[in-house]
């Protein structure tokens, strides 16, 4: 593929929506410029790269997982500069964009509740949760190595709790945890439970053994039924589990789309990319 020279990587080059989607993962040029204008006040002014180029650099890395040397060639800068800009821009994007992940009001949930959710559980489902893991390069620190080791993935990983609304919008994303943490531990140590309102239903997989904690907030955890200790599940349990599994799969679809859109999530993330400045 022909290398795009730094001078051509500008707002005009990304007027084409297909280019925007391929290189950044954002759907249109309009959305890209909206993101740019939103974070612009926080992007430092540099002689070597414009604020727009700095944003595009980090989006290229996230979308295509290009090597730092590749980005250095494209933007005609050193690898060290690429590393600095990528790290700084990640912090800026996290700080500026994370507040846009909002827990919707109950009225909004009711108005946007898909019919299959209404038929199964009325308007009570507030969120579907799951944890997803991203492989990371094996840390040099023994302590970090232990904290990130995932027995489930048999690899060093970082782990996130994610929640989506019934309509498929991401409404919650936790901080990163080491892959060693269980689904239950990560959920309880995050601020997720504080979001719940009395009467809310939470759909989750069997690994989320948090029914008592959810119940403390007068909400209800719905997970597929266990057959352990029983000769077989009752007809009602089977039907209820089928409904939960059918609806819970939407969160797995969203996680799959994230991995497909941003290639960096499907590869081993360098350890240095996981270290951010203190907020």
What is the chain's percent helix, strand, coil content, to nearest 5?
A: 50, 15, 35
Write the CB contacts of 26 (distance below 8 Å, at least 6 apart in sequence): 20, 32, 35, 59
Alpha-helix residue ranges (DSSP H) falling in 182-234: 183-189, 211-216
- In this structure, the dihedral spanned by the alpha carbons of residues 32, 35, 41 and 44, taken in order and rounded to 10 degrees, is -60
The pLDDT, as a whole number, for residue 140 is 85
The structural domains of the chain, with segments of one domain joined by +, span: 6-99, 101-274
CA distance 37 to 207: 41
Per-residue b or e along 199-226, where b marks 16 or more CB atoms closer than 10 Å to that residue's CB: ebbbbbbeebebeebbeebebbbbbbbe
The pLDDT, as a whole number, for residue 239 is 78
- In this structure, the dihedral spanned by the alpha carbons of residues 269, 135, 175 and 82, taken in order and rounded to 10 degrees, is 0
Q: Rounded to the nearest 5°, which phi and psi values hold at 202?
A: -115, 120
The pLDDT, as a whole number, for residue 274 is 67
Element (H, E) at 242: helix 235-261
CA distance 79 to 86: 10
Let me know: does 220 contact 240? Beta carbons within 8 Å. no
* Residue 275 CB burial class (10 angstroms; 0-12, 13-18, ≥19): exposed
The pLDDT, as a whole number, for residue 245 is 87
What one-character DSSP code corresponds to residue 122? T
Token pair listed for 67: 């090597």
At which residue do the structure tokens 């069997």 appear? Answer: 206
Q: What is the pTM of this model?
A: 0.88
The tens place of each residue's pLDDT in the chain, 279 residues long, gives 444 555 578 889 999 999 999 999 999 999 999 999 999 999 999 889 999 999 999 999 999 999 999 999 999 999 999 999 999 999 999 999 999 999 999 999 999 999 999 999 999 999 999 999 999 888 888 988 899 999 888 899 999 999 999 999 999 999 999 999 999 999 999 999 999 999 999 999 988 999 999 999 999 999 987 656 566 666 676 777 888 888 999 999 999 999 999 999 988 887 666 665 444
The pLDDT, as a whole number, for residue 279 is 44
Supply the DSSP string of 140-190, one letter for each residue: SSHHHHHHHEETTTTEEEEEEEEEE-TTS-EEEEPPPEETTS-HHHHHHHS
Token pair listed for 244: 């939960």
Coil, helix or strand at residue 201: strand
The pLDDT, as a whole number, for residue 157 is 94
CA distance 237 to 228: 13
Closest of 93, 152, 151, 127 to residue 220, by C-alpha: 127
Token pair listed for 256: 């799959």
């Amino acid at each position: 593929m022909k290398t795009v020279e730094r001078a051509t990587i500008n707002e005009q080059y990304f007027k084409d929506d297909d280019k925007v989607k391929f290189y950044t993962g954002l759907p249109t040029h309009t959305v890209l410029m909206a993101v740019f204008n939103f974070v612009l006040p926080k992007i430092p002014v540099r002689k070597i790269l414009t604020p727009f180029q700095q944003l595009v650099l980090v989006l290229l890395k996230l979308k295509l997982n290009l090597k730092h040397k590749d980005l250095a060639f494209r933007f005609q800068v050193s690898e060290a500069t690429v590393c600095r800009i990528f790290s700084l821009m990640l912090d800026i994007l996290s700080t500026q964009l994370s507040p846009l992940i909002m827990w919707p009001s109950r009225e909004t949930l009711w108005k946007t509740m898909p019919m299959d959710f209404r038929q199964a559980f009325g308007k009570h489902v507030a969120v579907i949760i799951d944890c997803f893991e991203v492989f990371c390069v094996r840390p040099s620190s023994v302590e970090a190595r232990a904290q990130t080791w995932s027995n489930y993935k048999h690899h060093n990983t970082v782990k996130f709790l994610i929640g989506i609304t019934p309509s498929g919008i991401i409404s919650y994303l936790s901080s990163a945890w080491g892959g060693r943490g269980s689904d239950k531990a990560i959920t309880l140590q995050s601020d997720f439970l504080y979001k719940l309102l009395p009467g809310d239903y939470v759909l989750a997989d069997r690994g989320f053994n948090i029914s008592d904690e959810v119940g403390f907030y007068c909400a209800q955890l719905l997970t597929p039924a266990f057959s352990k200790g029983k000769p077989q599940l009752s007809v009602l349990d089977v039907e209820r589990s089928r409904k939960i599994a059918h609806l819970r799969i939407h969160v797995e679809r969203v996680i799959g789309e994230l991995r497909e859109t941003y290639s960096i999530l499907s590869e081993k993330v360098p350890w240095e990319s996981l270290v951010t400045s203190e907020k």
